[in-house]
């Protein structure tokens, strides 16, 4: 596929997302001037004339606000729920952390019923599986799965990445054939290693690969704000953030626009 | 000969490098003030290169200044970063060299990219497949992990993702472990670190089948 899909995420995806908000478009502007503070995805969508936003979140906190505020500017919301999946959600030990990887679940059709399923899966992970963060296991995910859901594998945190760049050997029982997401233009040194692994997996398992770009902040200049926010969450400091491989300022809209040559609608 | 592909028998030339920097952030606001590299064969050092870099408005973080015993005069009297980068990369980007260093994959390669970006150059990780990171080889040695030579770079990333509590692999510790006998008061100066790093590398390739 030639299209590169921008995947936004907000500050509600603790430690795994961006610094965007989903505040109503125009609210952060006073007397024609942009107020200091985080950027709203709705402002960005309005500015750029976007007709759909792909939002990837680890929880539902922002879903309704995003849906309503994007609707006001005639922009469709495609909501993806990023889930941490482990081998056994009942095993809450440090060893079990090694079995963790992420998936992103999307609605295959636009219906309220699908979002109800999202909420059920998310609640299960938050209530029964919680260990440092919400988790579900492959068996439970398979049991709760239905055909109106779509499974995708994020580039930097799926089991394919874990098996390639860590000593984990995760052999999951997947609920459906996954769509594999391939990050473009993020400029991390091991992108080639993950890319090789996903291409191999896709070929063997007959999966499709979709090019995407995760977007955590608007411009490269905002990367510092994003990192400081991460430092606050991790209780580290800017001079010594202790964030392994956190070295690229390309997780931004500015970089995405350059990548697709300005064609963003 | 069985095992003839091992580094201990390799006749390839080696470049070891180390960068001393403003802070320990690998994402931004971090430039090297010292770049040192030595060229070696498997037995001895063939040439030594040590440069301080002159960046406009350069300031150090307190922590890094204390560790490196930083002196402002080094930078004030330093060399043009563009000139030094060119000289440094003439070795780094030469595919005939193996590249050795301590914690290169976790730190120095990223600072190298920040250096390039500051000078208006694009990121270039093309040399990564020739890197041998002694920090990771030392960890693997201490843990008894066997190297995967089919994809050595990916294997090194695997080792990096698996830090082990209580297993110390910094150069000072390896100096003690391998009884190398380098004076530790000079460490965290890139030029001094490299002499020890070369000794550690020679020791490790004799112990680990890389």
Q: What pLDDT score does A14 carry?
A: 61
Closest to A67 measured CA to CA, from A76, A58, A59: A76
Is the pLDDT score of B122 beyond 60? yes
Question: Domain residues for B102?
Answer: 7-207
How many angstroms separate the CA atoms of A244 and A224, rounded?
16
Contacts of A162 (CB under 8 A, 6+ apart): A100, A101, A168, A170
Is the pLDDT score of A264 beyond 60? no
Residue with tokens 């030639």: A2
Whether residue A235 lies inside any domain: the answer is yes
| Contact state of B154 with A193 under an 8 Å Cβ cutoff | yes
Whether residue A191 lies inside any domain: the answer is yes
Per-residue confidence band for B183, with pLDDT thresholds at 50, 70 and 90: confident
Strands A101-107 and A76-86: antiparallel
Compare CB distances from B162 to A167, A224, A248 and report the shortest one's residue: A167
Average pLDDT, stretch A241-253? 91
- Mean residue pLDDT across chain A: 92
Q: What pLDDT score does A109 carry?
A: 87
Please give the DSSP secondary-structure letter assigned to residue B105: I
How many angstroms separate the CA atoms of B166 and B43, rounded?
32
Whether residue B43 lies inside any domain: the answer is yes
**A194 to chain B: closest CA residue:** B154
Q: In chain A, which residues have their Cβ closer than 8 Å to the Cβ of B136? A: none
Whether residue A34 lies inside any domain: the answer is yes
Task: Name the most confidently modeled range: A13-27, A200-214, B182-196.
Answer: A200-214
Sheet holding B13-21, edge to edge: B45-52, B32-40, B13-21, B97-101, B131-133
Q: What pLDDT score does B48 carry?
A: 96
- Cα–Cα distance list, A137 to A92, A159, A170, A228 (Å): 12, 13, 12, 32
Q: Which of A3-7, A51-55, A114-118, B47-51 has the lowest mean pLDDT?
A: A114-118
Whether residue A20 lies inside any domain: the answer is yes
**B127 to chain A: closest CA residue:** A189
Cβ pair B104, B125 in contact under 8 A? no
Q: In chain A, which residues have their Cβ closer than 8 Å to the Cβ of B158? A: 165-167
Cα A218 to chain center, whole Å? 16
What's the N-to-C CA distance of chain A in angstroms? Answer: 17
Torsion of CA A109, A112, A114, A115, to 10 degrees: 120
Q: Model confidence over A99-157: pLDDT tens digits?
A: 999 999 999 987 888 888 999 999 999 999 999 999 999 999 999 999 999 999 999 99
- Cα–Cα distance list, B56 to B70, B75, B190 (Å): 16, 9, 21
Q: In chain A, which residues have their Cβ closer than 8 Å to the Cβ of B128? A: 189
Is the pLDDT score of B207 beyond 70? yes
Per-residue confidence band for A1, with pLDDT thresholds at 50, 70 and 90: very low
Q: In chain A, which residues have their Cβ closer than 8 Å to the Cβ of B125? A: 189
H/E segment holding residue B36:
strand B32-40
Q: How many domains are there within chain B?
A: 1
H/E segment holding residue B45:
strand B45-52
Is the pLDDT score of A165 beyond 50? yes
Whether residue A110 lies inside any domain: the answer is yes
Q: Model confidence over B56-101: pLDDT tens digits?
A: 999 999 889 998 899 999 999 999 999 999 999 999 999 999 999 9
Q: What pLDDT score does B26 carry?
A: 93
The half-sphere exposure of B129 on its side-chain side, counting CA atoms within 13 A, is 10
Give the three-class secondary structure for A185.
coil
Cα B121 to chain center, whole Å? 21
Question: Domain residues for A161?
Answer: 5-260
Q: What pLDDT score does A263 carry?
A: 55
Compare CB distances from B24 to A224, A240, A249 and report the shortest one's residue: A240
**Cβ–Cβ contact B28 with A under 8 A:** yes
Q: What pLDDT score does B190 carry?
A: 86
How many angstroms separate the CA atoms of A186 and B157, rounded?
18
Q: How many domains are there within chain A?
A: 1
Average pLDDT, stretch B29-38? 96
- Mean residue pLDDT across chain B: 93
**Cβ–Cβ contact A193 with B under 8 A:** yes
How many angstroms separate the CA atoms of A261 and B93, rounded?
30
**Cβ–Cβ contact B158 with A under 8 A:** yes
| Contact state of A239 with B151 under an 8 Å Cβ cutoff | no
Whether residue B2 lies inside any domain: the answer is no
CATH code assigned at B146: 3.30.420.10
**B60 to chain A: closest CA residue:** A239
**Cβ–Cβ contact B25 with A under 8 A:** yes
Whether residue A265 lies inside any domain: the answer is no
CATH code assigned at A157: 3.20.20.140
């Amino acid at each position: 596929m030639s299209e590169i899909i921008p995947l936004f995420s907000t500050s509600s995806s603790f430690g795994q997302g961006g610094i965007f908000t989903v505040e109503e478009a125009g609210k952060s502007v006073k007397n024609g001037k942009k107020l200091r503070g985080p950027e709203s995805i709705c402002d960005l969508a309005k500015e750029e004339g976007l007709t759909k936003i792909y939002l990837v979140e680890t929880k539902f906190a922002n879903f309704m606000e995003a849906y309503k505020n994007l609707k006001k500017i005639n922009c469709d919301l495609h909501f993806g729920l990023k889930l941490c999946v482990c081998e056994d959600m009942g095993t809450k030990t440090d060893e079990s952390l090694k079995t963790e990887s992420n998936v992103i679940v999307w609605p295959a059709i636009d219906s309220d019923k699908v979002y109800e399923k999202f909420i059920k899966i998310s609640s299960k992970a938050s209530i029964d599986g919680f260990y440092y963060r919400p988790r579900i296991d492959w068996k439970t995910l398979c049991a709760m799965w239905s055909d109106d859901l779509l499974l995708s594998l994020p580039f930097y945190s799926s089991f394919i990445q874990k098996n390639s760049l860590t000593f984990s050997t995760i052999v999951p029982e997947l609920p459906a054939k996954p769509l594999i997401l391939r990050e473009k233009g993020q400029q991390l040194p091991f992108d080639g290693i993950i890319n090789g692994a996903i291409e191999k997996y896709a070929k063997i398992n007959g999966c499709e690969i979709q090019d995407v770009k995760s977007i955590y902040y608007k411009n490269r200049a905002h990367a510092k704000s994003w990192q400081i926010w991460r430092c606050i969450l991790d209780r580290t400091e800017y001079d010594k953030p202790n964030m392994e491989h956190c070295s690229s300022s390309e997780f931004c809209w500015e970089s995405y626009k350059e990548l697709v040559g300005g064609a963003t609608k | 000969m069985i095992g003839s592909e091992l580094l201990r028998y390799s006749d390839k030339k080696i470049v070891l490098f180390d960068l001393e920097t403003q802070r320990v952030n690998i994402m931004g606001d971090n430039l090297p003030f010292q770049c040192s590299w030595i060229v070696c064969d498997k037995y001895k050092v063939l040439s030594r290169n040590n440069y301080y870099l002159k960046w406009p408005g350069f300031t150090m973080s307190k922590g890094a200044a204390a560790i490196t015993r930083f002196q402002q005069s080094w930078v004030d009297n330093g060399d043009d970063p563009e000139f030094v980068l060119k000289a440094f990369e003439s070795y780094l980007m030469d595919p005939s060299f193996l590249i050795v260093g301590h914690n290169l994959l976790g730190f120095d390669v990223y600072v190298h990219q920040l250096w390039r970006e500051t000078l208006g150059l694009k990121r270039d990780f093309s040399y990564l497949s020739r890197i041998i990171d002694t920090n990771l080889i030392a960890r693997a040695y201490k843990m008894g992990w066997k190297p995967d030579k089919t994809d050595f770079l990916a294997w090194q990333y695997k080792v990096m993702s698996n830090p082990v509590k209580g297993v110390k692999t910094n150069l000072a510790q390896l100096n003690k472990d391998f009884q190398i006998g380098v004076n530790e008061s000079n460490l965290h100066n890139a030029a001094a670190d490299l002499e020890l790093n070369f000794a550690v590398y020679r020791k490790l390739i004799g112990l680990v089948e890389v």
